[in-house]
Amino acid sequence: MKNLTQYSLSTLALTALLVACSAAGSSPEEKHGEPGRVIIDARTGHIDRPLDRYFMSPQDLLQIRKAEASLTNRCMRDLRYGSHPLPTPRMDHEESYRYEFLVFPLSQVRKNGYKNTRKSPDPATEWSRGATRTQRALLDGSLRRYKGHAVPEGGCSTFAAQTLMKGAKPHRIKIEGMSITPDTSATPDGIIDTVMSALRYSTAVRSDSDERVKGVNEKWASCMQEAGFHYASPQAAANDGRWHGSKNPSKLETAVAVADMGCKTKVRYLDTVVEVQSAYERNLIAKQSPTLASLRKASKVWLDHARAEVNK
């Protein structure tokens, strides 16, 4: 469903935001502040970071997406288009945050190297492929009338989004000197995901330039060199162009991946990077408290509307 009904924000604004984040400097207190305690669950791989509490929970996100599908399908039925309805969303498989940091199970890399280490594709992609041209036009509003009925302004996707956000429509959101302006078809889950991902990205960029992270990268590179592999960073190892030529990993790829995971464990790579990024997240939360408070308040309204729709 995301392909056709997900948020539509200003791509230019978000791109500019990410560029601004990458160029921004760090204040001394950000750079040298104590990272504090960070929880990494060794059994599940779950990492608990400060910004996590501001993301929508998987259960609430499912409610929002179910409501989006229900409202969109109702709009389509009202227009007398009943075929190929949006499927009822299901709970996404929760990915371990370790994937974000390029830390994968040793048993997995021994078998697959770096392959199959990315998040599974959206199951709604198959639905999107089957959507007709007419259905797409009704969803985005490019078709103004259908079978004698007026199509809602912006299409059924916009109808669903605006119904969910009635009484708490988002305004321009300022982050790091830039702004994100949701358009009329922006959906609640899309807005929250875009804003929170931008905030998290900004802290990740800052942590990458932190001396503590640079130090652990150097230790990792030295460990890899001892194993016979020369890479400047974990990203360089995972994205080696030689891994993209076939579906099955080569012996070299699996050897590099196994050494990579071993070196990350040896130098405490994950602990260091997560601790540093969490310190930047706490700093950002303090700076962005009005934005986060406003987003949380609006999301409660959106969720109430979603639950009302789903429970009809």
Prediction pTM value: 0.79
* Neighbouring C-beta atoms of residue 110, cutoff 10 Å: 14
The tens place of each residue's pLDDT in the chain, 312 residues long, gives 443 333 334 333 343 343 333 333 333 333 333 444 556 776 666 788 999 999 999 999 999 999 999 999 999 999 999 899 999 888 876 666 678 899 999 999 999 999 875 555 565 677 888 899 999 999 999 999 999 999 999 999 999 999 999 999 877 777 766 678 887 778 899 999 888 988 999 899 999 999 999 999 999 999 999 999 999 999 999 999 999 988 899 999 999 999 999 999 999 999 999 999 999 999 999 999 988 999 999 999 999 999 999 998
Let me know the angle formed at the C-alpha of 94 by 92 and 95, rounded to the nearest 5 degrees. 125
C-alpha to C-alpha distance for 126 and 140, rounded to whole angstroms: 19
Instruction: Pick the closest to residue 62 from 39, 89, 95, 35 (CA basis).
Output: 89
Q: How confident is the model at residue 127, as a pLDDT? A: 84
Q: How confident is the model at residue 174, as a pLDDT? A: 75
Tens digit of pLDDT for each residue in 273-288?
999 999 999 999 999 9
Q: How confident is the model at residue 298, as a pLDDT? A: 93
C-alpha distances (whole Å) from 24 to each of 16, 17, 78, 206 are 12, 10, 49, 8
One-letter identity of residue 289: S
Q: How confident is the model at residue 118, as a pLDDT? A: 53
Q: At what angle do helices 251-266 and 269-287 cross, to 10 degrees?
A: 70
Tens digit of pLDDT for each residue in 109-168?
999 999 875 555 565 677 888 899 999 999 999 999 999 999 999 999 999 999 999 999
Q: At what angle do helices 188-208 and 11-23 cross, to 10 degrees?
A: 20
For 261, the enclosing helix (H) or strand (E) is helix 251-266
Both tokens assigned to 37: 């305690």
Both tokens assigned to 283: 């700093």
Q: At what angle do helices 58-78 and 289-310 cross, to 10 degrees?
A: 50
Instruction: Pick the closest to residue 275 from 197, 196, 213 (CA basis).
Output: 213
Q: How confident is the model at residue 45, as a pLDDT? A: 66
C-alpha to C-alpha distance for 311 and 235, rounded to whole angstroms: 45
C-alpha to C-alpha distance for 306 and 61, rounded to whole angstroms: 10
Q: How confident is the model at residue 280, as a pLDDT? A: 95
Distance from the Cα of residue 30 to its chain's centroid: 24
Instruction: Pick the closest to residue 231 from 270, 201, 264, 277 (CA basis).
Output: 264
Instruction: Pick the closest to residue 48 from 118, 120, 91, 98 (CA basis).
Output: 98
